[in-house]
Chains A and B, each alone.
Chain A
Amino acid sequence: MSEITCECGHVNPEGTVLCEACGKPFEENQHLNDNKPEQLLNMRYDGSARRSQTYQRTIVDKIWNFFSSVKIGVSIIIILVIASALGTVFPQEMYLPPGSDPTTHYKEQYGILGQIYYQLGFHNLYSSWWYLLLLAMLGVSIVIASIDRFVPLFKTLRKQKPKRHVNFMKKQRIFGETTSTDIDYKRLKKNLKSKRYKIHEEEGHLLAEKNRFSRWGPYVNHIGLILVLLGAMLRFVPAMYMDEFLWVREGETKEIAGTDGLYYIKNEDFILETYDMEDEANSQFQESLQNQSGPVPENYQTNAVIYERTDLPVVPGKEPELEKVREAEARVNHPIELDNGISLYQASYQQNEFSSMTFKLHDKGNEDTDYGQFTVNLIEPKDEYTLDNGTTIRLERYFPEFELQDGEPTQVSKFPRNPAFIFEVKVPGEETEVSFAGIGVNIDASGENDYKVGLVDFQTRDVTGLTVKRDYTLPIIAFGAAIFMIGVIQGMYWNHRRIWIQPKDTGVWVAGHTNKNWFALKKDIDRIVADTGIEPPVDQQEEKDEAERGNDDGIISDKQ
């Protein structure tokens, strides 16, 4: 086995770049972190051995290594971002106007690009198999890449020793040599402690470290992301997530979808209130209300009664025996909540569906005559109506929503949106007459009628649209998002800082490393070495950059 035994005696796993204990760079592995001689050390993952870099035996390892790659992870993210953006170019299928046919809609509305969009399946992008697969691959990549980096980094930071290798020290970005024999170590340690560094000592060598936990920020953040993905995935489980829609007409009692027939709802009344301009209480809205051309809705509300079915087990279709649970109101953002986690949200409405129509019988030529009136209930019409003078009017045909197709009246839906009737009028002692009546139509079938059935009045009812929703995944997603944020804060607001102090025969060496905010680390060190006889170390990277800038354009930077 190719474990690496360092000259300090520590045995490192295969693929280690910097000795876990003393930090000695192992020559044969420097390419793994792109380290070049004469350059500062790349300190990523503290030079720990990422197995994926060296270890390829079985197919499992190969899959593992594929997903461990940050390049692959970033590529997946880029593809996802581009795909997600493309999905917003034209509307998704579910947002098309009701009744439109996606096979033709995209071509008609958006031309050839729309056609391509539809054929490539972008009209249903966010639930397409390849989009979900990309999301899943991102999840796998996050898990594997995190494990593959967290574990070795954790081990390395736990095993690190204060005594570092010469090459490690020299190749740190912050490094300084002091030649002096008069160094106040006591003062140094006191200064380190006052800056809240934890001090580890080995044969006089010092390691001062703080905020190591900030290195775990990205991994905590990834745990949060995985929780969000898992929560989103649980939406496929009906017990966890349900989203249905329910139209209920005023006066109608309907089974609540998704409750397995256990609950019913009756719509007592649908209310649409608008802002009253005259009302004193609305005076602060006066100006904005006046800017609107029409009335502004203030409240959408369904007054409902919730029933529970008592004849169990539920046999679908069977006339239910219902027991009233309670009366409840659904308003926008104030849903009716049932015991089983289901909420009914006020989501939509239709107004003014016809519920009844009143007709009067009059002479064909004179609308002022009146032989009596009758009212047809459009939900359950009667077969026959009798007027006071003994005239019978038989409802021969009823079309709840009628359309003329090839001159024939046809019914297009079961809802009384455009009702039409064929009446047989039988006045005692006279011939039976047939008339066809509807909204804006009144046809005399034979052309020889004496009477006419005229519409005098109608009643309407409203339909309420309720969203039936159960969502237990939201707390999981919110929890994941909170963990995500904690990880971000942990990694962003603290920095992992380390300072190494090495006593030498001639004086002392100081080196420093941080994962971000080098300026602050430099400032820390400057304060710590003050009055200890140690000269402040330099930022070798900045010196090099400055030197290069100086060579390039001859301008001397005033940066310190």
Chain B
Amino acid sequence: MSEKSSKKKKKRLIFRTSLLLIMLSLIVFAVVSALQDDDVTVAEGEMAPNFALKKFGSDETVELKDLRGKGVMINFWATYCEPCKEEMPYMEELYPEYKEKGVEILAINLDTTDIVVNQFLREYQLSFPILQDEGGQVMNLYNIGPIPSTLFIGPDGRIEETVIGPLTLSKLEGHLKDITPSS
């Protein structure tokens, strides 16, 4: 008799434990998914999603995966964004040096009107490639909210750092150093 009931108890414990575990995992799933903020950029440490964009003012297309092995800085900007304009000269200043060291800067423009961008480029004389994301597809892909937003991608294609908001010259240089391939 007591053997039978202790067996019953064991069964009951297993049943209760497994049901509680199932419910716990469902709860964890729900709470974690709810707390994942939709507005943040693609997570640091993840592989940067591939994209292909046309270079401004040419028919040349730049595809991110072709740059594997190099450090890549992606800067999302637009002509109507004042802080974006402020960091452009810093990027221009550091670009020649870091291009030598194997770092590429891609400035992804979110304007829709070519002439506006042209006028901007005439004024600022930028030498790094300006890519056109008129439909905002790459912006959506990377979940970019406010601009400027900048991503630093290591030579292995992983996102090392994301920065929302403007960069200072020294900060920019620090991040560029981090993604410089060692050779």
Q: Does A pair with B?
A: yes
| Chain A residues whose CB sits within 8 angstroms of the CB of B114 once the complex forms | 380
* Closest CB in chain B relative to A294 CB, distance in Å: 33
A68-B141 Cα distance, complex, nearest whole Å: 46
Contact B115 A398 (CB under 8 A): yes
Contacting residue for B49 out of A144, A316, A414, A415, CB 8 A: A316
Which residues from chain B contact A147 at a C-beta distance below 8 Å?
19
Interface centre among A139, A147, A397, A414 (most CB of B within 10 A): A414
Q: Give me the interface of A with B, judged by CB distance under 8 Å.
A: 1, 3, 51, 58, 60-61, 63-64, 127, 129, 132-133, 136, 139-140, 143-144, 147, 230, 233, 236-237, 254-255, 257, 261, 315-319, 378-383, 395-401, 410-415
Contact check: which of B19, B63, B113 meets A398 at CB < 8 Å? B113
Seed contacts A3-B5, A136-B26; 16 additional CB < 8 Å A-B pairs:
A61-B13, A129-B35, A136-B27, A140-B27, A143-B19, A254-B135, A255-B135, A317-B138, A318-B52, A379-B112, A381-B115, A383-B115, A398-B113, A411-B79, A414-B79, A414-B116
Q: In the complex, how many angstroms separate the beta carbon of A356 from the nearest chain B beta carbon?
A: 13
| Known interface pairs A60-B20, A132-B31, A136-B31; A414-B135 also in contact (CB < 8 Å) | no
- Whether B20 and A380, one on each chain, are in contact in the complex, defined by CB atoms closer than 8 angstroms, is no
- Chain A residues, CB < 8 A from B13: 58, 60-61
Give the one of B30, B31, B54, B112 with max A CB within 10 A. Answer: B30
| Among B5, B16, B33, B115, contact of A395 (Cβ-Cβ < 8 Å) | B115
A132 with B53: in contact, given A316-B137, A379-B113, A381-B113 (CB under 8 Å)?
A: no
Please pick, from A133, A255, A261, A414, the residue contacting B31 in the complex, using a CB distance under 8 A: A133
CA distance A187 to B114 in the complex (A): 98
Identify the closest chain B residue to A237 (Cβ): B33
B51 touches A315 (CB 8 A): yes
Task: Decide if B23 touches A317 in the complex (CB within 8 Å).
Answer: no
User: Inside 8 A of A236's CB, which chain B residues have their CB?
Assistant: 29-30, 33-34
Q: Which residue from chain A places its CB closest to the CB of B54 in the assembled complex?
A: A319
User: Chain A residues near B53 (CB, 8 Å)?
Assistant: 317-318
Q: Contacts A143-B19, A316-B137 given; indicate if A410 touches B115 (C-beta within 8 A).
A: no
Taking a contact as CB atoms under 8 Å apart, the answer to whether B50 and A315 are in contact is yes
Q: Can you list 28 A-B pairs, Cβ within 8 angstroms, ordered by A?
A: A61-B13, A61-B16, A127-B34, A132-B34, A133-B27, A136-B30, A136-B31, A139-B23, A233-B29, A233-B30, A236-B29, A254-B135, A255-B140, A257-B140, A316-B141, A317-B53, A317-B131, A317-B138, A317-B141, A318-B51, A318-B52, A318-B63, A379-B113, A380-B113, A380-B115, A383-B118, A396-B119, A414-B78
A132 to B29, CA, bound (A): 11
A133 to B27, CA, bound (A): 7
Residues of B within 8 Å of A133, CB to CB, are 27, 31
B168 at the interface (CB under 8 A from A): no
